[in-house]
Amino acid sequence: MDTFLKALPKAELHLHIEGSLEPELMFGLARRNGVDLPYQSVEEVRAAYDFSDLQSFLDLYYQGMAVLQTPRDFHDLAMDYFRRAASEGVVHVDLSFDPQAHLKRGIGLDVQMEGLLGAMDEAERELDLSTGLILSFLRDEPVASAAEVLEQAQPWLDRIDAVGLDSAEMGYPPGPFAEVFRRARELGIPGVAHAGEEGPPEYIQGALDDLQVIRVDHGVRCLEDPGLVRRLKEERVPLTVCPLSNVRLKVVERMTDHPLPRLLAAGLTLTINSDDPAYFGGGVLDNYRACHSAFGWGQETFRQLARNALEAAFMPEARRQALLTELAV
């Protein structure tokens, strides 16, 4: 099974590139940029990754990214992840990034884009890894700030595949961002949004109605609303589920409690993803493996999950068809 899961052409649709910052690289970049870290060793960093909920993770996530200062740092961060992903049989990544988290620290969008786009081009050339880019807005920052970032992003619109919505969910429903997502669609950019990770099913409904998203990130709490489950199924809305993340952030207590089998039985369009692999104990392959251990799924289930991801990914049609053919044999 392990050989099969590794060889499966996997697409990762839910990956925060800042959440792929491994402690080793964090120390390397801190040294390069003269940034003080509140840790003495890699072991101490890993020991600090003991989260009680989403916010306790976000506090360390925003702190960790302070080492990212130059285009080269963003490039090295992304390449470090792309190499690891390619070695695990990942063939495509839709990576998201949080521009506001860097702008707040005085790091311009041009710095971020130069580093990330350079790495994406290099990955396509050297690792045969295709990539899509999602510009994510922080839902716990003012809507005006999101609107401003979208306008600032105009020079790179041809490289941005979607806008997203992430960060602290409870108390931050999607509705207020409707106008920003409408503006993005006017610019030709579709939306995706985190919803129903910690937040209630109403936030998933809001992401569909108010933001008109084409994918829902997480979405696991949809099960609390049968009408919503019916709608997600009928409209074939892809959910980017991140099981190891849900365990580490205590959305569920353990893998065997995860709602994935129920989501699958409900006929939803599911994909398996890593979210923040450096913080949650593994990449896409580890998430597939964890599902195999917990649920005992067979090859056909994993093939279907991988097919869902290829079908929902932001990639050129010719590549999608080639990868779907590869998956079928």
166 binds ligand ADE (CB under 6 A): yes
> Do 286 and 271 touch, CB atoms closer than 8 A?
no
194 binds ligand ADE (CB under 6 A): yes
Given candidates 167, 271, 273, 274, which one binds ligand ADE under the rule CB under 6 A?
167
Q: Which residues pair with 11 in a beta bridge?
A: 92
Phi, psi of 238 (to 5 degrees): -65, 135
Count of positions on this chain that bind Zn ion (CB under 5 A) = 1
Q: Which residue is nearest to ligand ADE (CB)?
A: 166
Distance between CA atoms of 118 and 2, rounded to whole angstroms? 33
- Cβ atoms within 10 Å of 318's Cβ, excluding its own: 8
Return the one option of Zn ion, ligand ADE, none that residue 167 interacts with (CB less than 5 to 8 A, by type): ligand ADE
The interface with Zn ion within residues 114-153 (CB under 5 A) comprises none
The interface with ligand ADE within residues 242-271 (CB under 6 A) comprises 245
User: For residue 40, what are its two tokens?
Assistant: 């003495």
Q: Which is nearer to ligand ADE, 8 or 193 (CB)?
A: 193
54 binds ligand ADE (CB under 6 A): yes
> Do 207 and 173 touch, CB atoms closer than 8 A?
no
Does the annotation count 179 as an active-site position? Answer: no
Q: Which residues pair with 230 in a beta bridge?
A: none
The interface with Zn ion within residues 254-293 (CB under 5 A) comprises 275
Minimum distance of ligand ADE from residue 197's CB (angstroms): 5
Given candidates 74, 275, 278, 305, which one binds ligand ADE under the rule CB under 6 A?
275
DSSP secondary structure string, 78-94?
HHHHHHHHHHTTEEEEE
Minimum distance of Zn ion from residue 218's CB (angstroms): 7
Count of positions on this chain that bind ligand ADE (CB under 6 A) = 11
Residue count (the chain): 329
Nearest C-alpha neighbor of 178 from the set 167, 193, 157? 193
Q: Which residues pair with 138 in a beta bridge?
A: 166
Q: Which is nearer to ligand ADE, 167 or 287 (CB)?
A: 167
Minimum distance of ligand ADE from residue 58's CB (angstroms): 6
Minimum distance of ligand ADE from residue 328's CB (angstroms): 32
Given candidates 9, 19, 174, 206, which one binds ligand ADE under the rule CB under 6 A?
19
Place of tokens 């506090």: 59
User: For residue 198, what are its two tokens?
Assistant: 């910690």
DSSP conformational letter for 191: B
Active-site annotation holder among 18, 22, 197, 198: 197
Beta-strand runs (E) in the chain: 10-16, 90-97, 130-138, 162-166, 192-195, 215-218, 238-241, 269-272
Q: Which is nearer to Zn ion, 17 or 37 (CB)?
A: 17
Return the one option of ligand ADE, Zn ion, none that residue 54 interacts with (CB less than 5 to 8 A, by type): ligand ADE
Calculate the dihedral angle through the C-alpha atoms of 242, 271, 100, 211, rounding to the nearest 10 degrees. -120
197 binds ligand ADE (CB under 6 A): yes
Nearest C-alpha neighbor of 102 from the set 153, 54, 175? 153
Minimum distance of ligand ADE from residue 137's CB (angstroms): 11
DSSP conformational letter for 175: G
Return the one option of Zn ion, ligand ADE, none that residue 197 interacts with (CB less than 5 to 8 A, by type): ligand ADE
**Catalytic machinery residues:** 197
Instruction: By CB under 6 A, name the binding residues for ligand ADE.
Output: 16, 19, 54, 61, 166-167, 194, 197, 245, 275-276
Instruction: By CB under 5 A, name the binding residues for Zn ion.
Output: 275
